[in-house]
Amino acid sequence: MRYQRTLKKSVSVSGIGLHTGKQINITLRPAVSDTGIFFERVDLPGAPSVKAICDYVSDTRLATTIKNGEASISTVEHLMAAFALMRVDNALVEIDGPEVPIMDGSATYFVEKLREVGTVEQEGLRRYIIVTKPITVEERDSQASISPSVESRITCFVDFNHQALDAQTFSISLLNPGLEKEISEARTFGFLKDVEMLRANGLALGGSPENAIVIDENGVMNEEGLRFPDELVRHKVLDSLGDLYLMGAPLIGHFVARKGGHALTHKLLTSLLSNTESWAYIEFR
């Protein structure tokens, strides 16, 4: 993992947007060393682009949105998690709509497409962000922190105060050889009462049991049930991985979230970046 990686060749994906309900097409293309990951809105005049980094996060309600001028793309976290899982540092994402397609609600389809075309090592050294001092942020009963660690690790805790759902905790090292299988298949989820409210406000128009776990007062409504007994917290880990990859480099540290979400993770990363004594760039030569 000393050197940067990109795709061997381009690959295209099509699917429904979770909120617009419209068909959206994306093409993932190779990019040269030190490019990073860029999204390009090919449906807009001039095909404006935005780099997938924290500086351009514009909204964290329901999903993570990045924006630069006229270029705005939401729900980037699952694709970013797939890039992280496949160790892709440089890529161009051409997209013809305002949100990344939701696919089955997990990162599996993106991971499979990246594996299908393969990745290639580049000349540039891979740069990491190593955490040197702990940082913690809180909001009401939610907390997120990142602290120094000899390995990259994500730990998430959820408790929905729901009669049919137990509190769940999941922790995994990003060096775990089974990482991809353990979290990429975990689907996004929503509560039926919230889905009805969102649709009344023109959101979640593409949501369905085919691309999300739907929960009512009695528990999971999907006929096939869960892929893992703790699929909900595993998806929180997946979301966290995608949001953390917006640092623009892999993090070496232990990220912990208690009842967290996109907004709290972004708040933590913003706090970390502003505290230059708490992190440093390193390269393995």
- Residues acting as catalytic residues: 262
The closest of 145, 81, 128 to 252, measured between CA atoms, is 128
Q: How many CA atoms lie within 13 A of 51 on its CB side?
A: 12
Distance between CA 102 and CA 206 in Å, rounded?
8
Which residues are within 8 A (CB) of 34 and not within 5 positions of it... i.e. 6 or more apart?
4, 90, 124
Q: Where are the alpha helices (DSSP H) in 155-230?
A: 179-183, 192-200
3-state SS assignment for residue 100? coil
Tell me if 28 sits within 8 A of 101, measured CB to CB. no
